[in-house]
Amino acid sequence: CARLGAIHSVVFGGFAAHNLALRIDDAQPKLLIMADAGMRGGKAIAYKPLVDAALAEAKSPPPHVLIVSRGIDRDLQRLAGRDLDYAELRKTYADAEVPVAWLESNEPSYILYTSGTTGKPKGVQRDVGGHLVALALSMRAIFDVGPGQTMFSTSDVGWAVGHSYNIYAPLIAGATSLLYEGLPVSPDAGIWWQLCEKYRVRTMFSSPTAIRVLKKHDAAFLRKYDLSELKYLFLAGEPLDEPTAKWISAGLGKPVIDNYWQTETGWPALCLHPGFDLKPIKFGSPGLANFGYRYRVINETTGLDCAPNEKGVLVAVPPLPPGCMTTIWRDDARFLQSYFSHFKELLYSSLDWAIRDEDGYTYILGRTDDVINVAGHRLGTREIEESVSSFASVAEAAVIGVKDELKGQVPIVFATLKAAVADAANKRDAASGM
């Protein structure tokens, strides 16, 4: 698509038909490209029924669907006149020479949808030139990956990390991108590290949730393979709790680099720079403002800067640097309303709570709407989750607020125990006849 100058919008394969239909109607594509199926934990997920249902619901369906068959869905049925077979078209056009489309740097490159508070997804629009400049810089200064080296990003291509660091950034850097379709524990909890050994991965990029999944399993998997080529593990996508960061860092014996960004930013906004000048790592913090960002932590009511270690809203002083979204697809007014209308000053609101310590390191506390009001006390869900996760027997934890007649709300914790602890508890229950 980039070579043709065509705007693309990749949608995560796990969305329901209704969610796909909403995105189709907003993007109004001329063509929908789909695989016949995907694999998840050894199970085939057929996409055709999902796509057919979405197109039936959509008000602006594309005239054609290009189907790339992987030979997984043996029951695939094509709709005559609408569905096109990639394999047949390739036979006809494989030798065709199509010139590169040269675009002005601010032209849109792709649309990536993120959830909106109104229920209507927001189409984050990325430009051509700025995005590529940011990614090229990040591969050198942040991820420390260059020509001939290998990067392994575990993200789905339908998410922002997948766009930036599965596809575009490694290609720009002349590096190899390792793509893996499957779960981090299938066939066992060592599969990722086996791949790192086999393909001599230099830098790996994943999410805290994935590491918490691995945390439920035997830590011996972390030491089973030769990871001498692996220099860094980067984690992003959600706040990284300190217990998980310490667990994976100790298990691998590698630097674990937290970094903070959003679909809207397209690349790390808060981070450290191993390829340039690696500052001390502070577990629980994604670090310092990246190149081009001027971040502040301000009081949600007064708009004044918070004192060190005082909780506030993380905002950025415009203009935003290259790589960030340029607008919301077909909706400039919503772009301004969603991100720049929260304070008297013209500031980009991340809609995230944060604190900044005396050294300038920022700590993300969660979304501004992830707050539980207990008897007048506003509690952030992340603080509670991190406290629960600090117990050695806990693999991961999540907190929600529920209504309480006395206190207004009370927090409820859902915790998952590590596999060995859970097995021991089950055996005790069985022995006691419970």
* Residues 152 and 195 sit within 8 Å (Cβ to Cβ): yes
In the 8-state DSSP scheme, what is residue 223?
G
The dihedrals phi and psi of 422, each to the nearest 5 degrees, come to -65, -40
* pLDDT at 204 (0 to 100): 98
pLDDT tens digit string along 315-331?
999 999 999 999 999 99
Q: Are residues 151 and 281 both part of a single domain?
A: yes
Task: Give the tokens for residue 63.
Answer: 């005239």
Q: Are both 361 and 384 inside the same structural domain? A: no
Residue 76 lies in a domain: yes
Looking at the fold, whether 24 and 62 belong to one and the same domain comes out as: yes
Q: Residues near 76 by Cβ (< 8 Å), separated by ≥ 6? A: 36, 46, 48, 67, 69
Residue 120's pLDDT band (boundaries 50, 70, 90)?
A: confident
Average pLDDT over residues 123-142: 97
With b meaning 16 or more CB within 10 Å and e meaning fewer, what string describes 396-405?
bbebebeeee
315 within a domain of the structure (yes/no) = yes
User: Please, what is the Cα angle at 190 between 189 and 196, to 5 degrees?
Assistant: 140
- Decide if 37 is inside a domain: yes
Residue 179 lies inside a defined structural domain of this protein: yes
Which residue's entry shows tokens 């669907």? Answer: 65
State whether 178 and 273 are in the same domain.
yes
Residue 298's contacts (CB-CB under 8 Å, 6 or more residues apart) are 304, 305, 306, 312, 313, 315, 343, 347
- Indicate if 274 and 334 belong to the same structural domain: yes
Residue 49 lies in a domain: yes
**So what's the pLDDT on residue 264?**
96
Q: Does one domain contain both 65 and 23? A: yes
Q: What percent of the chain has pLDDT over 90?
A: 75
Domain presence at residue 82: yes
Same domain as 231, residue 163: yes
pLDDT band for position 302 (50/70/90)? very high
Pick the more confident residue, 433 or 14.
14
Domain that holds residue 117: 108-367
Specify the pLDDT at position 374: 76
Whole-angstrom Cα distance, residue 20 to residue 113?
10
| In contact, 146 and 130? CB cutoff 8 Å | no
pLDDT value at residue 238 = 84
Q: Indicate the pTM of the whole model.
A: 0.86
CA dist 135 and 317 (Å) reads: 21
Where among 41, 67, 93 does a domain terminate?
A: 93
Enumerate the β-bridge partners of residue 32: 65
**pLDDT in the model for residue 349:** 97
> Number of C-alpha atoms within 13 angstroms, CB side, residue 93?
8
Give tens-digit pLDDT for 28-52. Answer: 999 999 999 998 878 899 999 999 9
**Do residues 378 and 234 both lie within one domain?**
no
- If you average pLDDT over residues 184-193, what whole number do you get? 94
Give the highest mean pLDDT range of 2-11, 117-126, 237-246, 421-430. 2-11
Q: Which CATH number does the domain housing residue 361 bear?
A: 3.40.50.12780
Q: What is the pLDDT of residue 313?
A: 98
Per-residue pLDDT averaged across 393-402, rounded?
A: 89
Q: With cut-offs at 50, 70 and 90, classify the pLDDT of residue 275.
A: very high
Eight-state DSSP code of residue 274:
T
Residues 319 and 335 in one domain: yes
320/384 same-domain check: no
Select from 367, 399, 414 the last residue of a domain.
367
Indicate whether 5 belongs to any domain.
no
Domains in the chain, number:
3
Distance CA 122, CA 331 (A): 9
Say if residue 199 is in the same domain as residue 238: yes
What local confidence, expressed as pLDDT, does residue 184 receive? 93
Report yes or no on 391 lying in a domain.
yes
Q: What's the rounded Cα separation, in Å, for the pair 163 and 135?
A: 11
Do 192 and 335 lie in a common domain?
yes
pLDDT per residue over 206-239, tens digit each? 998 899 889 989 999 999 999 999 999 999 988 8
In the structure, what pLDDT confidence band is assigned to residue 306 with cuts at 50, 70 and 90? Answer: very high
Decide which of 45, 66, 93 is a domain's last residue: 93
Three-class SS of residue 155?
coil
Q: Is 58 in contact with 21 (CB distance < 8 Å)?
A: yes
Predicted pLDDT of residue 108: 97
Q: What is the CATH number of the domain that holds 392?
A: 3.30.300.30
d(CA 300, CA 314): 9
- In DSSP notation, 169-227 reads HHHHHT-EEE---S-TTSS-TTHHHHHHHHHT-SEEEE-HHHHHHHHTS-GGGGGSS--
